[in-house]
Amino acid sequence: MKNAIYAQSGGVTAVINATAAGVIQTAKQYPNQINKIFAAKNGILGVLNNQLFDCANFTSTDLNKLYFTPGGAFGSCRYKLKDDAEFEKIVAIFKEHNIGYFFYNGGGDSQDTSLKISERSAQLGWPVQCIGIPKTIDNDLPFTDNCPGYGSVAKYVAISTLEAALDVASMAESSTKVFVLEVMGRHTGWIAAAAGLISTTPLAAPHIILFPERPFEEQKFIAKVAETVATCGFCVIVTSEGVKHANGQFLNAQSSTDAFGHAQLGGVAAYLSNLVQTKLGLKNHYAIADYLQRSARHIASQVDVEQACALGKHAVEIAIAGKQGVMPIIVRTSNTPYQWHITDVNLNTVANIEKHMPDDYIRADGFGISEACRQYILPLIQGEAYPVYHNGLPDYLHTLGLNFSGKVPC
């Protein structure tokens, strides 16, 4: 009987631990197929460093708290496996702990890692059933209707935009005229698009949404801001961090890159704020949602939480059934009411592929979302799955004290 490893990878979400809870709880329900379930510290680095946590030490109370806790309970990483030596070391660790199942919970780069481990472990004589579990707030994995983490970040961005817009509207007569909110989204505008859910009339905020799928046109942007302030008295703008000029260059990219060669983004809100000040002389403020948007478990979407957990459960079940080298996906069968089920696709069809917003999801003027986009996103933010509160604060699981030791009995 083989053991299993679960690991988290890439930028974490408000619901990735719900997936972890689904994996761990389901694995414990199959003691005749999975002897032990380990969690690796900081993703694939925990496997390389032989830092594993025996999840048998988790009580039912711990698992319940894990379900409601944001962040990556076991630590995550952005790490690209470099060479044969690292794959050989991973397989050696698998052999040492009798690992037959590997569940890697992450985005596009992580699915590529899962695929390579699946292929290399077989080539090196220790085949492991690798299941890539989807996760990314960017919502850019192909085939799946949506990605766990997106529904919650969409809910947070929509609510934050609504509340900020009410604040700005109340002060616009004598103070701030323009407010800019910068959200995540390197190459896709799914997160920024969620702000459009609050716009119920042509003049309602957000008045401008900027998408990476549309090149930034400075004159058109400035004219729209000026027109909006003249008409509405104020202007609320939501921008993706990955908005680009017509030449393909990011509006504001730093010189540093991550392990996968992705440019470090940020600063678009400041860029736009300065532009509004320089060109129009309007008082403005900006905010960067940054980690707040992806860690806001207190206002997570119930649909998102349920799907995240269900994907973890399904991953274990298909592994036990003999599948490997696949990723579970969500299939939407109805918008109203929202209905869905889970199936799976081969990892070699999803690794390193980004799903962009369809053209017909973006309004004709390029500054908002279409009705089709609204109907797509709206079901994903439904319901609230509030954590338990204690002394006015969420009672989250704190995992810093976990004993990640490779010296575990197998």
Q: Which residues of 238-271 are buried (b: 16+ CB within 10 A; e: fewer)?
A: bbbbbbbeeeeebbbbeeeeeeeeeeebbbbbeb
Query: Tell me, what DSSP letter sits at residue 89?
Result: H
Residues 182 and 293 in one domain: yes
Among residues 108, 88, 105, which one has the least CA distance to residue 96? 88
Whether the per-residue pLDDT at 299 is higher than 90: the answer is yes
> Which is it for strands 52-54 and 99-106: parallel, antiparallel or unpaired?
unpaired
- Write down which residue in 297, 312, 336 finishes a domain: 297
Instruction: List beta partners, residue 106.
Output: 134
The Cα 17–Cα 8 span in angstroms is 9
Residues taking part in catalysis:
138
Collapsed DSSP state (helix, strand, coil) of residue 362? strand
Provide the pLDDT for residue 407. Answer: 44
Q: Which residues of 59-91 are buried (b: 16+ CB within 10 A; e: fewer)?
A: eeebbbbbbbbbbbbbbbbbbebeeeebbeebb
Residue 378 lies in a domain: no
- pLDDT tens digits, residue range 310-337? 999 999 999 999 999 999 999 999 999 9
- pLDDT tens digits, residue range 39-90? 999 999 999 999 999 999 899 999 999 999 999 999 999 999 989 999 999 9
Provide the pLDDT for residue 266. Answer: 64
Residues 117 and 183 in one domain: no
Whether the per-residue pLDDT at 261 is higher than 60: the answer is no
Tokens of 132: 């890539």
Residues 155 and 293 in one domain: yes
Residues 211 and 257 in one domain: yes
Whether the per-residue pLDDT at 263 is higher than 70: the answer is no
Whether the per-residue pLDDT at 409 is higher than 50: the answer is no
191 within 8 A of 240, measured Cβ to Cβ: yes
Mean pLDDT of 270-297: 97
Judge if the upstream peptide bond of residue 337 is cis by omega within 30 degrees of 0: yes
Residue 221 lies in a domain: yes
Compute the CA torsion angle 341, 346, 347, 350 (nearest 10 deg): -70
The Cα 292–Cα 157 span in angstroms is 10
Residues 293 and 310 in one domain: no
Provide the pLDDT for residue 353. Answer: 87
Question: Which residue matches tokens 């199959």?
Answer: 30
Q: In this structure, what CATH number is given to the domain that contains residue 162?
A: 3.40.50.460
Provide the pLDDT for residue 352. Answer: 81
> Which residue range forms the structural domain that includes residue 190?
150-297
The Cα 384–Cα 311 span in angstroms is 19
The Cα 162–Cα 154 span in angstroms is 12
Reported confidence tier of residue 401, pLDDT bands at 50, 70, 90? low
Q: Is 161 exposed, middle or buried (0-12, 13-18, 19+ CB in 10 A)?
A: buried
> Which is it for strands 284-288 and 178-183: parallel, antiparallel or unpaired?
parallel
Q: In this structure, what CATH number is given to the domain that contains residue 326?
A: 3.40.50.450
Average pLDDT, the chain: 94
Among residues 360, 393, 391, which one has the least CA distance to residue 375? 360
Mean pLDDT of 359-376: 97
Residue 320 lies in a domain: yes
Instruction: List beta partners, residue 183.
Output: 240
Amino acid identity at 42: N
- The percentage of the chain sitting over the pLDDT mark of 70, rounded to a whole number, equals 95
Among residues 226, 228, 166, which one has the least CA distance to residue 198? 166
Residues 84 and 155 in one domain: no
- pLDDT tens digits, residue range 150-159? 999 999 999 9
Residue 130 lies in a domain: yes
- The percentage of the chain sitting over the pLDDT mark of 90, rounded to a whole number, equals 89
What is the pTM for the complete model shown? Answer: 0.94
Residue 408 lies in a domain: no
Instruction: State the sign of the Cα–Cα–Cα–Cα dihedral 286, 288, 289, 292.
Output: negative
Residue 404 lies in a domain: no
Residues 83 and 114 in one domain: yes
Where is pLDDT greater, at 328 or 201? Answer: 328
Domain count, the chain: 2
Reported confidence tier of residue 279, pLDDT bands at 50, 70, 90? very high
Residues 247 and 193 in one domain: yes
Provide the pLDDT for residue 410. Answer: 33
